[in-house]
Chain A
Amino acid sequence: MAKFQSVPHDSAHKHVTGEAIYVDDLPCPPGLLHLQPGLSTRAHAKITKLDLSAVRAAPGVVCVLTAKDIPGTNDVSPTGTGDDPVFAVDEVVYAGQAIFAVAATCLAAARHAAALAIIEYEDLPAILTISEARAAKTDLEPEQIMFMGSTEEALRFAQHTLTGNFRVGGQDHFYLESQAAECIPGEDGDMTLTSSTQHPSEVQHLIAHLLNKQSHDVRILVRRMGGGFGGKETQAALIAAMTALATHKTGRPARLVLDRDDDMVMTGKRHDFEIDYKVGFDDTGRLSGIFLDLASRCGCSMDLSAAINDRAMFHADNAYFLNNADITSRRFRTNTVSNTAFRGFGGPQGMIAIERVMDAIALHLGKDPLDVRKVNLYNKMGRDFTPYGQRVMDNVAPQIIEDLERRADYTARREAVRVFNDSHKYVRRGIALTPVKFGISFTTTFLNQAGALVHVYTDGSVHLNHGGTEMGQGLNTKIAQIVAEEFQIDFGKVKITATDTDKVPNTSATAASSGTDLNGMAAQRAAQTIKTRLADFAAKDAGCVSTDVVFKHGHVRAGTKNWTFEALVKAAYLACISLSGAGFYATPDIHYDRKKHTGKPFYYYAYGAAISEVEVDLLTGESKILRVDIVHDVGKSLNPALDIGQIEGGFVQGAGWLTSEELVFDDQGVLRTHAPSTYKIPACSDRPPVFNVTLYEDGENSEETIHKSKAVGEPPLMLAISVFSAITDAVASVGNYKTLPDLHAPATPEAIFRAVTALQEGAET
């Protein structure tokens, strides 16, 4: 009976002993083939020659796969756009695109052989950057517009207006387990794959299409991933598809585990954005209206870019009432790897845009940025409409900010920062509070559904399966807690099992922070189905009504009768009562008209706020986080330890995105930062040395979510925007807090140094 308790992750024991099994840890089945893809070295080119004879002839090679080997559709695009071939045909559209794959008896042989391919190209013009794409008008879909009121009018009468632009970089997921899949052949051409994927159903469907099979021929298993963060939502299909194709061609098991460098050049990342704004506001800093233009680099195909960029638009308000807003979004095709889902799914880029505007306004007016933020927060008095028409009914941002300000002593510390800066010529400090309001639900409304399957065995042990996938977030632990709570049995009685398309079909990706909301509810319903049957049986036996049957602490009481859970289950079995139940859940009351960008796309919002304090070396641009305080709303927590883990981990990941993690493509479109030696995610000493994380005490979801909890996977990442704002604050001291530093994300030493230099030069002229 572990509801609301900090039960450790169900696999924690196996994690620390090394017994937790990931794809590459599976025992090698006899005849296993190891795969290595061969990749394009050009961003955009015609393949004029593809000579794989040396590859085929290399020792250990069993077969070489190209697009010609695909019996069905050479495509793994998630939304049916047909632009994500497994293997390039005739033309490559990004450096890192797979052209072929080698299957060999051992991995070393496969890798050796892959290097022997002779490929000749004829380069075609490559569009690499957003500005090149803008000039060439390579929009993947028409410009999207979301608006509220009349911004033109509002700005005409505004006391102040400001314009500006801002760039924010992409981010590699850097899940510690690279993309991996293994395929095992069965009879009738059936295939069972173990895939490191957040979306087993999609992998199943795409492989069926690839091989001209039906979905029921393909089974996908996912016990756990070594991290996902959105990077295994759509990208896993490509890897799984190659193994299935190898199995299809040879009849042998096949495994592909990407080398880290290959993973980083082959698979998609967070979208980088260029943002332009023109904002009108009054003397208090309150917005009268804003024009916001969001442009993103989507890479070579559509992937999930439509929904991701939509979510950027949905979060361009963050926690603020924009009054009048005109938000445009352009989604550009480029000859770079196709960008994809990443924790926050466009939300972070939209949110940092408006936070940048808040900082700009505050510096312009000479105000504390927190005062400007507060005066713009959503509140009830007619200021509760989002630009997409959804009313903000559950707003707790003001309370959270107040709580955090008090806990972290914001006012005194801001004063102390100013004093510090007055007496330090070369080191400056900065402090910032930024809130988060994040919409919870897939904005593609039909995806908000989930299923679960629960069996109770005659010994009272419970087998739990649901459509969500475990990538470290503790989803399985929370759902087992929900089921244990429902039956009132020990957590240890509930067996967590691998996600399996044979058990729960047609699932949505474990994404959009929705894993527990959707699957938890489905699992609860599955358990309730069985519980109702057990209650009916107990009531009949005891001669009372079902509603008088009480499940408590491993026992079931009905009238004067009392069973252990195990005894009741056994008795019910003997009375021929079904002890298996399926549960289904779909989020109620949400709708969205994408053509007009209006509706109620979100069931509710998750809120939080963070204060970050940083230090910057003006001579080198190096920076350091000194302290972070967070108050975050997870509703009624299902597991405080796991929730705090998501908050701490999400924050540090977000801080990495905005500081040290820089994706560098060269002028040929080749990614130069494709390994941990060159791409720097936060290390241990980068975490805030003082890091106070508090769950919002009054948190309770106003909607009927599972036990009144709130989703927590993505929202905390955006708390790290406070780090960027704090760096902005520190750098702004150079210009005496009069000028917005020309700082772009990520705030690497070089980026900070440039912003400092520009302010110093500005002061001199």
Chain B
Amino acid sequence: MRDTVSFTLNGKTVEVQNPDPTLTLLNWLRQTRSLTGTKEGCAEGDCGACTVVIGDPDRTPHWQALNACIAFLPTLDGKTVISVEGVAKDSKLHPVQRALVEHHGSQCGFCTPGFVMSLYAHYRNDGAVDEETLNDVLAGNLCRCTGYSPIIRAAKAMYDYPKIEDIALAESAKQDTLALSMTCPLTGAGKKYFAPQSLDELAALYADHPEATILAGGTDVGLWVTKKHAVLETLIDIGRVVGFAKISQDKSGLTIGAGTSYAAAHAALGNLHPTLGEMARRIGSTQIRNAGTIGGNIANGSPIGDMPPPLIALGAELVLHKNNTCRRIALEDYFIAYGQQDRTRGEFVESIFVPAPDPATRFAVYKISKRFDQDISALCGAFFVCMKDEKVTEVRFAFGGMAAIPARAKTAEAALIGKEWSENNIRTAMSALAQDFTPLSDMRASADYRLNAAQNLLWKFYLGEDAPYLAREMHHG
């Protein structure tokens, strides 16, 4: 029996007795430990001022930046947690810190601890310091003062400073620590927090507690607590289910365990198609991708999740699991209506299967947002087409941001099936998109723009190699 959460913080083991399972790491650090170097800038995982570093020998790379503002304390059990206070050693600045000071990388200083931590994780992973990589490492850290240039100059120079002794990575957590299981949930603040370790346990638990909130990366669930002030009575953390974050590939395609983080899936998705890799790279930020899962992005049924459209276009299937019974459905059929999915009480997403695209097929996915990195799509368009003898034999166009759910453009597809892949027919399909969708106007884009841009994305897809790209996209994909 355990009623404590235990992890190492800045090199020392800490035990927290029966915490409220939805207590965030940020609030615990600041309020309980008086470690106020970690800041709250937004409490929704967007600004990065709260960034801490997690060491986990079971993850690659070992050191991962994380948004403490939406990380629930029990999810850290067994891990190595480093906050900004743990980076310098005996009043000696870490190379990352020295570089930032000497390159004038801080002005108001409020975002700075977050930048320090993102760069610290990168430093400890021996990450590259070219600008493209650094843009990615720091996409989840907003700075309003410097315009980022001095921070990039500092990052490029961080390996030039003498090393100092770093906090060691604690041994793998899996063996003895986390007995947080179905038999002994945490029960702080009258809530229940389960951390099943096997699929069977998870299935049994969820069957017993179908009212529970399934917690994966917490990049969405965290906000229910910090922003909507929801009280989550029962949580089932799927983060410790063995094999749940597994990726496997064979000739038929790619199987992604529902608990796989975007970061872990990135390479495999990029192998399927470069634009799919780029899409995954543009989801959230490094911090968000380290936590958020492919399964979560699907399971929560959001109309603007970025993974469903390309996966639908690729013909992906979901494996849903309930009480040791599995069923397989087309991903597109999972989304029924806004806030409504084909998932029964007690059923959970187990894995996603993405068929390997045939060489005779073409695929691309595009995302349009006000800001290139770390923004939610105004519009996401994914296109898949298979041709034989110059005729379209199979076609799937899927969009996010165009309807209340991620959805296919069936009329546009029908306009092409059996036809030649020609400019005229594409123009007809573009017009047909207007019958498929009646998008909404909101703060991200107007209905008109969404429809027109969706049509142009199809045109872009048709242009293929000749399609326009902005200079910033050249290095990715």
CB distance from B450 to the nearest CB of A (A): 9
- Chain B: minimal CB distance from A510 (Å): 13
Flag if A12 contacts B106 (CB, 8 Å).
yes
Most interface-central of A18, A25, A226 (chain B CB within 10 A): A18
Chain B 131-146, CB within 8 Å of chain A: the 1/0 string?
1001110110111111
A491 within 8 A of B: no
Known: A474-B107, A649-B146. A24 touches B40 (CB 8 A): yes
Q: How far is the CA of A642 from the CA of B104 in the complex (A)?
A: 8
> How far does the Cβ of A9 sit from chain B's closest Cβ, in whole Å?
6
Would you call A620 and B36 a contact (CB within 8 A)? no
- State whether B142 touches A648 (Cβ < 8 A): no
B-facing residues in A17-39 (Cβ within 8 Å): 17-22, 24-25, 27
Q: Does A14 contact B (CB under 8 A)?
A: yes
Q: Does A677 contact B (CB under 8 A)?
A: yes
Kindly state whether residue A68 has any CB partner on chain B within 8 Å: no
**Contact for A620 among B83, B102, B110, B453, CB less than 8 A:** B453
Q: How far is the CA of A749 from the CA of B456 in the complex (A)?
A: 13
**B378 near A749 (CB under 8 angstroms)?**
yes
**A261 CB → nearest B CB, Å:** 7
B97 and A16: CB pair below 8 A? yes
Q: Tell me the complex Cα distance, A228–B375, Å.
A: 24
Does B371 reach chain A (CB closer than 8 Å)? Answer: yes
A425 to B43, CA, bound (A): 43
Please state if B108 and A224 are interface contacts (CB–CB under 8 Å): yes
Q: Which residues of A contact B42 (CB under 8 A)?
A: 260, 675-677
Stretch of B111-119, B171-179, B392-400 contacting A (4+ beta carbons < 8 Å)? B111-119
Please, which residues of chain A bring their CB within 8 A of the CB of B442? 664, 672
Q: Is the CB of B372 within 8 A of A176?
A: no
- Is A43 in the interface zone, CB < 8 Å from B? no
Please state if A691 and B36 are interface contacts (CB–CB under 8 Å). Answer: no
**CA separation between A279 and B106, bound complex, in Å?**
44
**A687 touches which of B147, B453, B463 (Cβ 8 Å):** B147
Bound CA–CA A27/B469 (angstroms): 51
- The reply to whether the CB of A621 lies closer than 8 angstroms to some CB of chain B is yes
Q: What is the bound-complex CA distance between A658 and B243, given in angstroms?
A: 47
- In angstroms, how far is the closest chain A Cβ from the Cβ of B303? 15
B100 — which chain A residues lie within 8 A by C-beta? 12, 15-16
B37-A684 in contact (CB<8A): no
With an 8 A cutoff between CB atoms, is A591 at the interface? Answer: no
Residues of A within 8 A of B376 (CB): 677-678
Q: Does A112 contact B (CB under 8 A)?
A: yes
Interface centre among A24, A652, A683, A691 (most CB of B within 10 A): A683
Does A269 count as interface, using CB distance less than 8 angstroms? no
Known contacts A27-B34, A620-B456: does B148 contact A684 (CB below 8 Å)? Answer: yes
Complex partner residue of A685 from B40, B87, B372, B444, CB under 8 angstroms: B372
Stretch of A57-65, A441-449, A622-630 contacting B (4+ beta carbons < 8 Å): A622-630
- Asked if B468 lies at the interface with its beta carbon under 8 angstroms from chain A, I say yes
Are A16 and B110 in contact, CB atoms less than 8 angstroms apart? no
A71 located at the interface, meaning its Cβ lies under 8 Å from any Cβ of chain B in the complex: no
| Structural contact, B107 and A749, CB atoms closer than 8 A | no
Q: Is B445 an interface residue (CB 8 A)?
A: yes
**Assuming A8-B101, A12-B104, A16-B100, is B370 touching A680 (CB within 8 A)?**
yes
A:647-691 near B, CB below 8 Å: 648-653, 660, 662, 664, 672-673, 675-678, 680-687, 689, 691
Whether, in the assembled complex, B47 has its beta carbon less than 8 Å from a beta carbon of chain A, the answer is: yes
Check A748–B370 contact: CB distance below 8 A.
yes
Partner of A623, one of B37, B102, B463, B470: B470
B112 lies within 8 A of A15 (CB): yes
Which of A364-372, A550-558, A602-610, A611-619 is the interface stretch? A611-619
Please give the number of chain B residues whose Cβ is less than 8 angstroms from any Cβ of chain A in the complex.
87
For residue A660, which residues in chain B have a CB less than 8 angstroms away from its CB? 370-371
- Which of A22, A426, A616, A623: most chain B CB closer than 10 A? A426
Residues of B within 8 A of A286 (CB): none
Q: How far does the alpha carbon of A67 sit from the alpha carbon of B150 in the complex, in Å?
A: 46
Chain B CB within 8 A of A472 CB: yes
Task: Select which of B108, B116, B445 is within 8 A of A472 by beta carbon.
Answer: B108
The interface size of chain A toward B, counting residues with CB under 8 Å, comes to 91
Chain B nearest CB from A270 CB (Å) reads 13
Q: Which residue of B lies closest to A425 (CB)?
A: B468
A-B contact count (CB 8 A): 263
Contact A176 B93 (CB under 8 A): no
Tell yes or no: B84 within 8 A of A by CB: yes
Contacts of B108 in A (CB 8 A): 175-177, 224-228, 471-472
Residue contact B107 to A260, C-beta cutoff 8 Å: no
Closest residue on chain B to residue A471 by CB atoms: B108
Contacts of A648 in B (CB 8 A): 146-147, 149-150
**What string of 1s and 0s marks CB contacts (under 8 Å) between B53-77 and chain A?**
0000000000000000000000000
Are B370 and A662 interface neighbours, CB within 8 A? yes
**Mask: chain A, 424-445; 1 = CB below 8 Å from B; 0 = not:** 1111000000000000000000
A28 to B314: give the CA distance in the assembly, Å: 54
Q: Are A757 and B145 in contact (CB under 8 A)?
A: no
Which A-chain residue is minimally distant from B98 (CB atoms)? A16
A199 at the interface (CB under 8 A from B): no
Which residue of chain B lies nearest to A651 when distances are taken between CB atoms in the complex?
B147
Q: For the complex, is A586 an interface residue (Cβ under 8 Å from B)? A: no
Bound form: Cα–Cα A20–B39 in Å: 11
The smallest beta-carbon distance between A228 and chain B, in angstroms, is 8
Contact (Cβ within 8 A) B109 A472: yes
Beta-carbon contacts under 8 Å, B70-95 to A: 83-85, 87-88, 93
* A750 at interface by CB-CB < 8 Å: yes
A111 within 8 A of B: yes
Q: How far is the CA of A225 from the CA of B443 in the complex (A)?
A: 30
- Asked whether, in the complex, the Cβ of A16 is within 8 Å of the Cβ of B116, the reply is yes
Contact status of A682 and B147, CB under 8 A, knowing A626-B471, A676-B44, A677-B46: yes
Give A622 to B366 CA distance when docked, in angstroms: 12
Instruction: Please determine whether B470 and A617 come into contact, CB atoms closer than 8 angstroms.
Output: yes
Residue A540 at the chain B interface, CB threshold 8 Å? no
B38 within 8 A of A: yes
Interface bits A159-175 vs B (CB < 8 Å: 1, else 0): 00000000000000111
Q: Contact between B144 and A176 (Cβ–Cβ < 8 Å)?
A: yes
Against B, the Cβ 8 Å flags (1 = close, 0 = not) of A171-206 are 001111110000000000000000000000000000
- A259 at the A/B interface (Cβ < 8 Å)? yes
Assuming the A-B contacts A176-B108, A224-B109, A622-B372, are A260 and B44 also in contact, with contact meaning beta carbons closer than 8 angstroms in the complex?
yes
Q: Decide: B149 and A226 in contact? CB cutoff 8 A.
A: no
Of A15, A260, A682, A749, which one neighbours B41 at CB under 8 angstroms? Answer: A260
A257-269 interface code vs B (CB 8 A; 1 in, 0 out): 0011100000000
B49 cross-chain contacts in A, Cβ below 8 A: 176
The reply to whether B85 and A677 form a contact with Cβ atoms under 8 Å apart is no
Do A13 and B101 have beta carbons less than 8 Å apart?
Answer: yes
The interface bits of chain B over 234-253 (1 if a CB of A lies within 8 angstroms of the residue's CB, else 0) are: 00000000000000000000
Q: How far is the CB of B94 from chain A (nearest CB, A)?
A: 8
A→B interface (CB under 8 Å): 6, 8-9, 11-22, 24-25, 27, 108, 111-112, 115, 173-178, 224-229, 259-261, 424-427, 471-474, 615-624, 626, 641-642, 644-645, 648-653, 660, 662, 664, 672-673, 675-678, 680-687, 689, 691, 748-750, 753-754, 757
> Can you list 17 contacts pairing A with B, beta carbon distance less than 8 Å?
A9-B104, A11-B109, A12-B100, A17-B93, A111-B229, A176-B49, A177-B108, A260-B41, A260-B47, A617-B468, A644-B104, A660-B371, A662-B443, A676-B42, A685-B139, A749-B378, A754-B449
B residues sitting closer than 8 Å to A (CB atoms) are 30, 34-44, 46-47, 49, 83-85, 87-88, 93, 96-97, 100-102, 104-113, 116, 131, 134-136, 138-139, 141-152, 227, 229, 366, 368-376, 378, 442-446, 449, 452-453, 456-457, 459-460, 463, 467-472
| 3 cross-chain pairs, A with B, having the tightest CB-CB distances, nearest first | A18-B37, A472-B108, A226-B110
New contact pairs (17) apart from A645-B150, A683-B374, CB-CB < 8 Å: A12-B106, A18-B38, A177-B110, A226-B39, A226-B111, A260-B42, A472-B109, A617-B468, A620-B453, A622-B368, A648-B150, A652-B148, A678-B376, A678-B443, A685-B373, A689-B131, A749-B368
